[in-house]
Structure 1
């Protein structure tokens, strides 16, 4: 569904490349493929081997950069970032990559994820004399590196990585090397590619396609990579790892043409739709999906159910972002601006509306109403994931139970609230089977916290709002 209008917002996207004469332009195109992961800010930092220089700004990538600005970014290596504000809030000071200068050299830092112990670490660092220039949890990591007593950057990184907890895919670049690290649970996707003799890294493999890069492999949980003129070097920064990638990457966040751990996102979503039809076969005349992330699941449902798939909902792609609107009434108006029902498709029909998830329920209610206003006689809502009952502390914009309708309402209560004739959620087991994972257990390789309440890391007290502490274990 449309993240901007329903409250479920993406994390961020990172891209880096080492050893390419057009590093800035390559990074721009890579970030363009990752724009769906963040639309609030973008930035690129380059190095020419002697110094680091960056440009960043608020808004979409195309709003921040033009041809002239890219021409000013001369260097053979670069890192870039597209941002959705989760930890730290908005403001140009929080747009990444963050760039730091010192007498011993410069470094640029880009981060996808959320550090669950950032507040506690920040208090400790401030007590020791650190002064923070941003409210971003990413800056905490930079201070840990600079305050480390180790000599080599690799040792500084490993020391800092043992102190931070949560979800993180870090890209750190100096004048002479690019370092990449993924948290011990691998909560965020991160892959390595190669274009010519240059190595690149990206949040999703779809970024490799646009630049003509060949996929090499995924970055492993707990892995630290060093990329420089001598090539690529890998070492673990911890042996205590347990793969638990965010399941919502398959359900919603990632682009359909991306592959995560060898699993194509479109295929996984289509399988979710097929499994949903097996779990909830409904007598209907037409199946439609909510653009864009639910289309694959809707196609799968239609194929398995033997019901025609039609474009019953159309997305208007030329409307400005609406998630920045402050009131719920304006958010609901944003639904009307973003989506339209195709009357000739749904009029007089029993419609199965497939969507990937329900967060607050307000957008689902508006879409059901929209379909019925267009003449649908019945609207059956089928969700290709289980109910989201628990907040996420790893970089998704759902940090309290109050934001999640399934946390406080039964399925039947949600059905009544959104005005659907029926409401079905995919089971956890069905979702894992559709993705291609083992049955639900600690080794399934997925983070299921938003569905089950079982978090792969400790959730620190200063991460949870006071009234939430009894609800999160």
Structure 2
């Protein structure tokens, strides 16, 4: 199962900073549905509100209109990739050092967390959470002695390894920075005279904000007063390695990330699949919603009709009462249901973005067979996922990834398909503008950043 990871949003110098942050997080809810948080600064006091659940479940009018005062704000939506699913691990994470109030919101995952945490604890640091983001705060404080805030943050960046697109609120400064490989997206924009930052541009669209540019890999942007200052990390240049899964699955299709229009990329992935693996069929359909845009591209290239023969229930929320254990496939059925008249006797091409474990797809294909589908052909708009991700996507361990342990033919038989085709890596890279700028480690096992153990990634934890 793929899980969303995190989204961040920040705004500087706006009278409705908390409210705009709420809407910025709401637009990025797809990036994390476990917890949400907002912090604000009014020049004297830092205020926070965090909770487990979706953005509208955590915040209400009292928070936005009365309690979260201040013209500087930042927020975070989270799905845990490091740290347990607990309220104390919800972000933004807050700390106080002398006269500084520090808040951090982090999207990504550090690969040397345990090494740094152990070293800091030996030096006397006491940790409040299990999230890797807290390591960053301890490092900044460590380097504050005699240095500016900017120098301390840049020195901390020299110690950490991994993926991080993060926001820091330190008194009157709003700081945005991105790891040297640029693995996770981070955008910079403007609402009137107010500067804004977000993981995705869909947050800007909701606020009618102007997109200025991306925060560059290895860049730190500091907003203070009327000045915006850019700094480069004192780190040897690294190859750009954006996460390709932002384009395959995670980013909203109406967003622009890494200079790419997500919608266009997904359509092109579908078109490339049709070029690689056309099959005679009655129609093409997606498994909604993740397969929709690739299915459109496949249908347009192949000339086959495009149909929605599987309907998703968009009103299934987190609080849906779970069925008893003897109704194991109920949660799958309540989310997506076939149009029966469209299935019987039909030759169907199904398009989806990925296969992780294969169990959910197997149950859906079984249902289509029971309804009389004549042929079922499956097309996947990413190559086989054979390796876990250590940079902020909660992919299963290698032992649970079906493509890591089975051939294409074995997966085809397990799911019950007439044919199965994954897009080739070459086909996938034809769908993007700069093919050499993407991390493909979950397909190839070639990790751009070694794990904290150094050397080779292990199959489970990466050390």
Same fold (TM over 0.5): yes
TM-superposition CA deviations, 1:4-60 (whole Å, max 9, x none): xxx100110000010111000000000001000000000000011112111000000
In the alignment, is residue 378 of structure 1 matched against residue 375 of structure 2?
yes
Distance 1:330 1:182 in 2: 45
What pairs with 1:64-143 in structure 2 (closer than 5 Å)?
A: 64-71=58-65, 72-143=67-138
Distance 2:176 2:328 in 1: 37
Query: Between Structure 1 and Structure 2, how many residues are aligned?
Result: 460
Gaps of 5+ in 1: 1-6, 439-443
| Distance apart, 1:462 and its partner CA | 8.9
User: What SS does the aligned partner of 2:431 have?
Assistant: helix
Gaps of 5+ in 2: none
Distance 2:302 2:12 in 1: 48
1:200 to 182, 196, 201: 196
| Distance apart, 1:241 and its partner CA | 2.5
Distance 1:152 1:456 in 2: 31
Which deviates more from structure 2 when the two are superposed, residues 389-398 or residues 367-376? 367-376
Distance 2:428 2:155 in 1: 37
Output the TM-score relative to the length of structure 1. 0.93
Distance 2:378 2:196 in 1: 41
| Distance apart, 1:467 and its partner CA | 6.1
User: What SS does the aligned partner of 1:434 have?
Assistant: coil
Which residue number in structure 1 is paired with residue 222 of structure 2?
226
Instruction: Note closer, same or farther for the CA distance 1:293–1:328 as it changes in structure 2 (3 Å cut).
Output: farther
User: What SS does the aligned partner of 1:389 have?
Assistant: coil
In the alignment, is residue 296 of structure 1 matched against residue 293 of structure 2?
yes
| Distance apart, 1:68 and its partner CA | 1.2
Distance 1:449 1:219 in 2: 23
What pairs with 1:175-186 in structure 2 (closer than 5 Å)?
A: 175-186=171-182
In the alignment, is residue 57 of structure 1 matched against residue 51 of structure 2?
yes
Report if the CA contact (8 A) 2:397-2:459 is conserved.
no
Report if the CA contact (8 A) 2:451-2:457 is conserved.
no
Which residue number in structure 2 is paired with residue 29 of structure 1?
23
Distance 1:273 1:358 in 2: 15
Which residue number in structure 1 is paired with residue 12 of structure 2?
18
User: What SS does the aligned partner of 2:159 have?
Assistant: coil
Report if the CA contact (8 A) 1:270-1:297 is conserved.
yes
Distance 2:54 2:272 in 1: 36
| Distance apart, 1:436 and its partner CA | 2.7
Distance 1:92 1:326 in 2: 26
Instruction: Note closer, same or farther for the CA distance 1:355–1:97 as it changes in structure 2 (3 Å cut).
Output: same
| Distance apart, 1:93 and its partner CA | 0.3
Which residue number in structure 2 is paired with residue 455 of structure 1?
447
Which deviates more from structure 2 when the two are superposed, residues 33-42 or residues 290-299? 290-299
Report if the CA contact (8 A) 1:47-1:174 is conserved.
no
What pairs with 1:141-290 in structure 2 (closer than 5 Å)?
A: 141-148=136-143, 149-237=145-233, 238-290=235-287
Report if the CA contact (8 A) 1:169-1:183 is conserved.
yes
In the alignment, is residue 412 of structure 1 matched against residue 409 of structure 2?
yes
User: What SS does the aligned partner of 2:134 have?
Assistant: helix
User: What SS does the aligned partner of 1:370 have?
Assistant: helix
User: What SS does the aligned partner of 1:16 have?
Assistant: strand
